[in-house]
Amino acid sequence: MKPKLFTVQVTPVLPKPLEPLEDLAYNLYWDWTPEIAELFARVDPHLWKETGHNPVALLGQVDQKRLEALSSDIGFLAHLGRATEMLQRYLNEPRWFQLEHLDHQSMRIGYFSAEFGLASCLPIYSGGLGILAGDHLKSASDLGVPLVGVGLLYQEGYFRQYLNSDGWQMESYPPNDFYNMPMKLARKEDGSVVRVAVEFPGRHVHAQVWRIDVGRVPLYLLDTNVPENNDVDRAITRALYSGGVELRIQQLMMLGIGGYRALVEMGLEPTVCHMNEGHAGFLGVERARHMMGARHINYELARDLCEDGNLFTTHTPVPAGFDVFSRELVERHMSAYIQSVGMSVQDFMALGRRDRHNDSEPLNMAVVAIRHATLRNGVSKLHGDVSRALVQNGGAWEGWPTEEVPIDHVTNGIHTRTWIAPEMAMLLDRYLGPHWRREPANPKIWEAVERIPAEELWRTHVALRHRLVSFVREHLAWQGSRRAAPERELEEARHALDPEALTIGFARRFATYKRATLLFSDLDRLRKIITNVERPVQFIFSGKAHPADHPAKEFIKLIASKLKDPTFGGAIVFLEDYEISVAAPMISGVDVWLNTPQRPKEASGTSGMKLVPNGGLNLSILDGWWAEGYDPELGWAIGAGENYDGTTDAVEANALYDLLETQVVPLYYDRDQRGVPQRWAKMMKASMRKLAARFSSDRMVMEYATRFYIPTASRFLSNLERDPAASEQIVHWKGRVRGEWKHVAVVEVEAPQDAHARLGESFVVSAKVRLGGLSPDDVDVQLYHGRLDARDELRDCESLSMQHVESSDGVHAYRTDARFKASGRYGYTVRIVPRREDVLIPNELTVIRWA
C-alpha cells in the first residue's frame, strides 16, 4: 500500500538586503532585460549556466556563504537596486495601451494557447506556436495590453532529443520540477490554491493552477497532477503532443473548459477570449455554458451573445493540421459535460462539423472555434488567402467568393528584445538611441540603421558568428560525451567549423513539408559549394521531429549521415535538442537563414524574422512571412512564388544551388581592403531598416488590439447591455432566415446581353426574386460584377445593392444602374444575401443565393 505523504516546500534563506532578488526571479522580465539577467549571473556564473539560466533554481542551490558575502557587496547591492527599480518602473508606468486607449482600460483579454515558449528554463513548449505565444505575451506586457494567458503545465514538457550512433532520433522525457522554476501556485485571497474541476464520465478531473508573471502579464497554467485525481487523470498534463487521441481530447477539455473556469474562479472573467489555434475551441462552448447559467437562457442565445467576444486565430494551412475526434470518442469522454450544457451528443457534434447534417463527419476543433467566434484570422497575408479557401470548400461559406470568406490576417512577429543579441543591442543603442527598445515597431526609429558604419556593423556580426562557432563546438562535444563517443570524435567537435566561413543555418520543427533535405538533392553540386577552398560554406542544422513522425526522422537521419562524410570536410553539423538556448546563438550568429517549405504550407514562420534585428539575411521560398517581406535588396527568394505541386523539388533545389553559386557566396566574399563586404553590409542594413519594425510582435499585438480586441470587446459589451428581448429577436431572425432560405431564389435577371457601354455610361439591370417567408427588409439583393479574365472568371469583384421597386404575388422586383470605372470586358450577375444592421454578414450568417 502506498503510504500517505505529507509535503513541505523548502525555500532559500535570502539575507534581508538580497530579498528583492526573489521578486526579480519570479518575474520573467529578466528574460528580455540583460541588466537583470546579468545580476543573476553575478551571483554564481557557473551555477547560472548549470541551471539553464533559471534564477529560482540558482537561488535555491547557491551556497549560503555566497549569499552572505553578496549581502555586503556594495557593487552587487547597487546593481540589485537598479534592477529592482527597473522592474518596478516597468510594472507601474503607463504604456502604449494606457496612453492610446483610455476608454478601454476595463477590458481584459484571455489568451488561450496549448503551449507557451517563454524562456529556456521553462521547457513547456514544442516549437513555433509556443514561441509565438510567448512573444505575444511579452509584447502585450511591453505595450500594457490588459491580457492574461491561459494554458496547460506539462510535467515533462516536450521531449528531449538525442541521436543514436546511426543518426536516428531518440527521445527522453525528464520531469520538470515546478517548485524550482519561476512560477508559483495561484492563490485566492484566503491563501488557498486555485483549483478547478471538469466533468468527465463518472468523475471530475481536478487541476491546480500555477502562475507565471511575464512582465505585466500573468500566465495561468493548469496542472492535473494532483492527489484528487486517479493515476490516469494525473497524467493528462504529463507531456505536450504525446499520446494518442484519447489523451488529446482530454488535454483540450482541460485547456478550453478548465482554463475558462480558472479565470472565472479567480474573478478574471475576460471580455475577449482569443483562441490561439483550434486547441482552445472548447472554451467557446464553456463560455456560452457559463452565460446560460448567469442569464438563465438557452445555448443558442448564449452562443450568439458570446461569439462576438471571441477571436479565433488559425496557424494551420492544411486540413490535416486540425484536431478531429470521432463521435464515439467525444461521447466516451464528454458525455457528462455535454449533458451539463443541456444538449444532445448529436447537436454537440454538429458544432464541429463542416456540414452540420453529415453524421459521418468527426468533430473538428477548428470548426468548433470558428462557430464560436465572430472574428477569425490567419497569421500572414498568404495564409489568410489559404485559410479562406480551406474553410470555404465544403464548409459554411461554400458559395461565397473566396475573397469574401470572413477570415482576416495578422502577420506574426517576434519579440525583438528577447531575440536580439546583447552585442547588437548595444550597437543599436549607440546609433538609434534607446527608443528602439521601447518602440521596436516604429519604422522611423529603424531608419537610423543607415547611420551605422558598415565596418562597425560587420565587426559586431563577426563577433556573433565567432560566439556561435564556440557554442557549436561546446554543444557538439556535449552531444558526443552524452553517447560516450571516442576521444577522437570529441576532439574533432572542439575544432568544428570555421569562424570566418559563410555560415548558413536551418533550424525548425522537422516536418516533411519543410524539406530540410532539399539542400542534399545534388550531392556533387553541394560538395563543390562547400569545399571551395577560397570561398568555403558551412551549414548548421537543428530541429526535432515529432516522435511519431517517422518520415521526418528519416530526414534527420539523412542529414546525420552527411556529418560523417569526409568529402564534406566537416562543414555540416547537426545540433541536437533544438530549443531556445540553441536557437538564440544560431539566429544571431549565422550569416544566412535557409527556409525551404512546400509553398503554401508555411503559415507564417518566425525563425527567419529573428535574424533581421541581428543583421542576418534570409534565403527562402516565398511562403509565409517571406512572401510579404521579400525584396531583392533585403535577401533572396528561391523560386518565383509557385505553389508546390509535387514536381517542384528538383526545380527549387536547382534554384537554391544557383543562388548560392552566383549570388550569395560571391557577395559574401566580395571584400574591400579592410576585409569588409560592403555590398553585403548594405543588404544587412536594408533588411534591418525595412523589416525589423514590420515583423515585430509589438506591431502584431498593436494590430490585434486595434483591429480585433477593442472592436470585439465593444460588440460583446454592447450585446450584454442590449435588452434580452432584442437578443432573442436576433437569434430568432437568424433561425428564420436559415429556415426560409431554401425558398429564396433569383427568378429572373433582365439586362442587355453582350452589351456595349462607353466608359462612364450606365445601363439598367433588373431582377425578380422570391423570398419565401422573408421580406425585402431581411435581404440585400446585389449586382455582383468584376473584370473577366481569359477563362471567363470574375476578377476584382464588387457588389452593388439593388433598389427594391415593387412586390406582387410573392415576387419582388429590384433594379439598379450599372456603371464601370474602367474600360475592358466585365461580367455581372445577381445574388441575394441576408441583411440586418446588428448582424455581421457573412461572419454570423453564411447563406447566399446566386442567379
730 neighbors 304 (Cβ within 8 angstroms): yes
CA dihedral of 753, 757, 760, 764, whole degrees rounded to 10: -30
535 φ, ψ to 5°? -135, 70
**What per-residue confidence (pLDDT) applies to 1?**
58
The span from the CA of 364 to the CA of 370, in Å, is: 10
**What per-residue confidence (pLDDT) applies to 9?**
64
pLDDT tens column, 240-292 = 998 899 999 999 999 999 999 999 999 999 999 999 999 999 999 999 999 99
Pairing of strands 635-638, 617-621: parallel
Q: Smallest Cα–Cα separation from 172: which of 163, 155, 159?
A: 159
pLDDT tens column, 567-605 = 998 999 999 999 999 999 999 999 999 999 999 999 999
Does 773 score more than 80 pLDDT?
yes
**What per-residue confidence (pLDDT) applies to 320?**
78
3-state SS, residue 123: coil
The span from the CA of 45 to the CA of 86, in Å, is: 22
The span from the CA of 604 to the CA of 609, in Å, is: 10
pLDDT tens column, 33-86 = 999 999 999 999 999 999 999 999 999 999 999 999 999 999 999 999 999 999
217 φ, ψ to 5°? -105, 125
- Mean pLDDT value of segment 82-91: 98
Mean pLDDT, the chain, as a whole number? Answer: 95
Mind giving me the DSSP string for 14-46?
A: --GGGTHHHHHHTBGGGGG-HHHHHHHHHH-HH
Alpha helices (H) along 707-790: 710-721, 724-740
pLDDT tens column, 699-753 = 999 999 999 999 999 999 999 999 989 999 999 999 999 999 999 999 999 987 7
pLDDT tens column, 488-506 = 999 999 999 999 999 999 9
The span from the CA of 260 to the CA of 258, in Å, is: 6
Residues 6+ apart with CB under 8 A from 503: 465, 468, 469, 497, 538, 539, 540, 589, 590, 591, 592
pLDDT tens column, 301-334 = 999 999 999 999 999 888 878 999 999 999 999 9
The span from the CA of 365 to the CA of 569, in Å, is: 48
Q: Which residues of 835-851 are buried (b: 16+ CB within 10 A; e: fewer)?
A: bbeebebbbbbbbbbee
3-state SS, residue 176: coil
Does 396 score more than 90 pLDDT?
no
**What per-residue confidence (pLDDT) applies to 751?**
83
Over the Cα atoms of the chain, what is R_g?
29
pTM of the model: 0.96
pLDDT tens column, 200-224 = 999 999 999 999 999 999 999 999 9
pLDDT tens column, 525-548 = 999 999 999 999 999 999 999 999
Does 7 score more than 90 pLDDT?
no
pLDDT tens column, 281-291 = 999 999 999 99
Does 2 score more than 80 pLDDT?
no
pLDDT tens column, 629-664 = 999 999 999 999 999 888 889 999 999 999 999 999
Cα–Cα distances (Å) from 723 to 151, 565, 718, 726, 728, in that order, read: 35, 74, 10, 5, 9
